A and B are shown apart, each in its own frame.
Chain A
Amino acid sequence: MTTFAETDISCKPEMSDLHSVQEMFNREEPETFYDNNSLTKIYLSNIKFIDQSLSRLGFEEDVFYKHIENAIFKEIHLSLKWREEGITEPNIASKQKTREICFFLYGKYEIIPSKVVPSKEEGVSIIYKNYDHNRSLIIEVYNNLEVAALVNDDLKKEVIAGEDIKEMNFNNIIKKLYY
């Protein structure tokens, strides 16, 4: 497995680099336009998968782990409006399961989520992007610890596959993200 430390950039990260990592997780890609008939933002060609950017900066892996921890345990909150609608916050168990899945998928497949956000279905949504194939992998971890996943073709706008995930078996769904 390629780690950040094995990349061809040997320098240690500076604090300013850490800020830029934070920005990469949060940013929307700069060159975009809108399809008038859809809410979907169309991404242009200069998009790079975020782990490639991290690798180029030569970060240690623990930067990733710390960032994911932070994203899950400090940044996931329901808005007041959602709470008024009666939506329940993601519970601690679902967040821990989310962390487990993010770490597992990074360790096994070297993929990093582009978004980790609360779900109206009461749990956490994890979104991965494969820009080369215009596909998204969406995983939801619910408060009762059930896990579901799907792969979506973002260009054709159609769901390719969906699966209930048991015992951390993501093999079939991950294949759909690439083929």
Chain B
Amino acid sequence: MRRKYTPSEFNPEEKLYRGFNEDDLAPNTVRLYVNSIRFPDLSCNWSRFSLPIDIRKRENSYPADGCYSFTVNVSQYRKMATPCHDPLTHSNTVKSNYAHVEVRQLKSDETIYFEPPKRRKLKTNNWSRSRRLMYRQNIINNLVTEVDIGELLDN
């Protein structure tokens, strides 16, 4: 059985892949705005164990989904959150996915090497609304398109 990694084992320059589709684009545009990013608990795939196109194999995905990436470093913006390795094992409702990562919200006194428990409930005012908005916009500012919506790839 493969092991689960801790937040301290993420390389800051490694990528986190996320899927997107047309519903995430602002009307009449081909770009993502901050409104399509949610904070916290973003589900991603870790580049160490997956390719961008693997995003189309995730649960509830569509065959034409696009993929964008941002770095581990970006996910730790202002030490507000950190990526946590969260391998999914196959069940009736979930496909197995060893590369699965959750970017989880941190409290202000926690370091980026701390692993917050899954589904931890924090008051929304743990971080102010504007700080959360800045976090989300920073992802938009730093994301890279890996696969366009509908793009066909050889593999």
Contacts and interface: CB of A to CB of B under 8 A. Distances in A.
Interface in A20-37: 26-28, 34, 37
Closest 8 CB pairs of A and B: A148-B129, A79-B23, A125-B35, A162-B130, A157-B141, A120-B38, A148-B130, A162-B134
Given A37-B144, A149-B130, A164-B129, A27 B28 contact: yes
Nearest to A149: B130
Contacts, number: 95
A150 B68 contact: no
Given A119-B34, A164-B129, 18 more contacts: A28-B29, A37-B145, A38-B145, A39-B30, A41-B30, A80-B23, A117-B33, A117-B35, A120-B35, A120-B36, A120-B37, A121-B38, A121-B39, A121-B132, A146-B129, A148-B132, A150-B137, A157-B142
A159 B27 contact: no
Contacts of B64: none
A138 B138 CA distance: 13
Interface of A: 26-28, 34, 37-41, 75, 79-82, 84, 87, 115, 117-121, 125, 127, 138, 140, 142, 146-150, 152, 157-159, 162-164
B48 interface: no
A158 B139 CA distance: 10
B94 interface: no
A84 B60 contact: yes
Interface residues of B, number: 33
Contacts of B36: 120
A117 B37 CA distance: 13
Contacts of A38: 143-145
Interface string B48-72: 0000000000001000000010000
Contacts of A152: 137, 141
A162 B132 CA distance: 9
A48 to B, nearest CB: 17
Contact of B128 (A27, A140, A148): A148
